[in-house]
Amino acid sequence: MAASIAGTPISLISLVDTDRQWFKAHHGIDASETSRSLSFCAHAILDPTQPFVVNDTHNDERFADNPLVLGEPKIRFYAGIPIQDVKSSMPVGTLCVISDQPKELSEMQLTSLSKLARQVERTLLLRDYTHQLTQHNHELEIANQAKSRFLDTVSHDIRTPLNGIIGSIESLDENDLRHEQLRNALNTIHHCGNSLLHIINNILDLSSIETGRLELTREDFDLRSLADDVLHVVSVEANSKQLELISEIDDAVPVSVHGDKTRLHQILLNLLSNAVKFTPSGFVRLTIQPSDQSERISIRVSDSGIGISDADYPHIFESFVQVGQASASHAKGNGLGLSIVDALVKAMGGTIEVSSKEGEGTTFDFTILLPASDPNPQKETSSETLIAGVHVLVVDDDTINRTVMSAILKKLNATVTAVASGVETVDLFPNQFDVILLDCQMPEMDGYETARQWRALERKCEKRAIPILALTAHPFEATRRECIDAGMNQMLTKPINADQLARAVREALETGAHTPLGGSGDKN
């Protein structure tokens, strides 16, 4: 455009530093830079307020002997409009036009070139801001990765002792607990452990929601049984406050539904826990009924608690914001529950609404897709008989976890062999176990390498492939894929209770018993 305005064969946007002049953009010339000592631009930037024009270099003693005049590109005419850094007002280069013939520009041409130079300045400023934004985004990405690593580490460091706490209690035989005080203490420990796990799951789910990595799983489950389980969890605190805990489930609600049982449990637990927390006296009610929309269920959680102020309404579903604290400073929380509820309901194809009046209670209504499933499922086998007689190899370098897992398995009537390392595991081959429970994070040889070596030995010796279940405190999809790629059949997340463990082992024996997965070679 500059060449067109001036009627010259060459136009340049040139920037200068201490030693050179380099061309940010050029037309009519192939060069990319030149020495600053030879450049016309070095003269042009001396007065950034005025165009620098040389109508005929042969008549200008400053340039008559310049190699760029005597040789290519044989400059006879030069006009340069200084370009300034917008933020500092310092000259940084020029917008220039060049010809091999003497020339004069009109005032209109110089004005047009000056306007074009101002546009170049704004473009350079935009480029600078874009570069800064890119840099900030890069730094944010690094920070986000660091946050993910932090959450991963925190998850592992907390889940591992939780596994010991909850597992130790579940491994005890209730018939041996003769003292009521001891039983109450154990119940308290169990309740606190599960509460801590609930908080951890909320934090991890928030991270998954923020990064778009939230995944849903679908299964058939008894909706009434799930509701009873959640009500049982919150009943401890409700009873301590003498609240009336009410459950109303319409007879028209299907016995069995198909959906994400774990996420629905989490939604109800968050809503009911909040209701109990912010209700000093009165009631908390759970209502479940069919929706007017096909294959959907309407669920309501209501209470007679402190309610929500008008000022708090816009922030009700924001992360890390806990409403109602002004009137209930005794009720504390991390402010994650409702934001996660909102995200989970949306992920399950539903919507959630809240109505409240300060001092008179709060009601949450949501509707989600939960189609009816087989109303007559086969009666589930008790966990005590699911894996009776199954020989399980437990591999975990943590003494407490190894002891706890062994105790739970023995309570489930399984036969147990326990070792503390991947090396010991490989040395036990070809002893034929029915299933291996393998910790992923171990020194010397981690669970992934242990699984790979075990699968390699199975192939080499033409032995049948037994199920290998990963036992990890890292509840992430990337970890699951790494387990599968190493040849494991399934990933179990710590802490795990006796019923979950029994059913996972039974499922592996029935569905993946002899099928090594991920990099395990040919099936034997």
Block means of pLDDT (10 residues each) for the chain, 524 residues, are 85 83 83 80 83 90 87 90 85 89 90 88 87 86 69 63 67 60 64 67 69 78 92 89 95 92 90 92 97 91 92 73 46 61 89 91 95 68 77 92 89 94 94 92 93 95 93 81 94 84 89 45 37
Closest CA to 297 of 258, 266, 263: 258
In which residue are the tokens 């710590």 written?
A: 494
- Distance (Å, whole) CA 450 – CA 524: 19
The model's pTM: 0.52
Rounded distance between C-alpha atoms, residue 401 and residue 391, angstroms:
18
Residue 278: CB atoms within 10 A of its CB come to 24
- Comparing CA positions, the residue from 408, 378, 392, 388 lying closest to residue 466 is 392
Supply the pLDDT for residue 523: 36
Taking CA atoms, 235 is separated from 191, 244, 437, 440, in Å, by 11, 9, 34, 36
pLDDT computed for residue 343 by the predictor: 87
Q: Among candidates 296, 289, 299, which has minimal Cα distance to 369?
A: 296
Query: 494 with 159: CB under 8 angstroms?
Result: yes
Q: What is the pLDDT of residue 120?
A: 86
Task: Find the farthest-apart pair of alpha carbons in the chain and give their distance in angstroms, rounded.
Answer: 113
Q: Tell me which amino acid residue 80 is.
A: G
Residues in the chain: 524
Give 362's strand partners: 356
CB 362 within 8 A of CB 248: no
Give the pLDDT of residue 28.
Answer: 87
- Contacts of residue 277, defined as CB under 8 A and 6 or more positions apart, other chains included, come to 237, 331, 333
Identify the CA nearest to 343 among candidates 324, 317, 362, 322. Answer: 317
Residues ≥6 apart with Cβ < 8 Å to 92: 15, 16, 45, 83, 84, 85, 124
Give the CATH H-level superfamily of domain 383-511: Response regulator (3.40.50.2300)
187's tokens: 């119940």
Decide: 352 and 364 in contact? Cβ < 8 Å: yes
| pLDDT at residue number 147 | 64
Please list the residues that pair with 436 across neighbouring strands: 393, 468
If you write DSSP's letter for every residue of 386-448 in order, what string do you get?
HTTT-EEEEE-S-HHHHHHHHHHHHHTT-EEEEESSHHHHHHHTT---SEEEEES--SSS-HH
Decide yes or no: CATH 3.30.450.40 for domain 2-133: yes
The residue among 299, 227, 217, 205 whose CA lies nearest residue 258 is 217
Give residues with Cβ within 8 angstroms of 30, minimum separation 6: none
434 vs 414: CA distance, rounded Å: 10
Peptide linkage before 9 cis (omega within 30 of 0): no
* Four-way CATH pick for 219-369: 3.90.1150.10, 3.40.50.300, 3.30.565.10, 3.40.50.620: 3.30.565.10
CA separation for the pair 435, 393 (Å, rounded): 6
Bond into 516 cis (ω within 30): no
Structure token digits, residue 455:
């699968």
Q: What integer pLDDT is reported at residue 515 of this predicted model? A: 39
CA dihedral 249, 230, 346, 495 (to 10 degrees): -150
**Three-state secondary structure of 23-70:** EEEEECCCCCEEEHHHCCHHHHCCCCCCCEEECCHHHCCCCCCCHHHH
CA angle 219, 222, 228 (to 5 degrees): 130
99 DSSP β-pair partners: 77
Task: For residue 276, give the amino acid letter.
Answer: V
CA angle 463, 420, 499 (to 5 degrees): 80
Residue type, 505: V
User: CA torsion sign, 139 to 141 to 147 to 153?
Assistant: negative
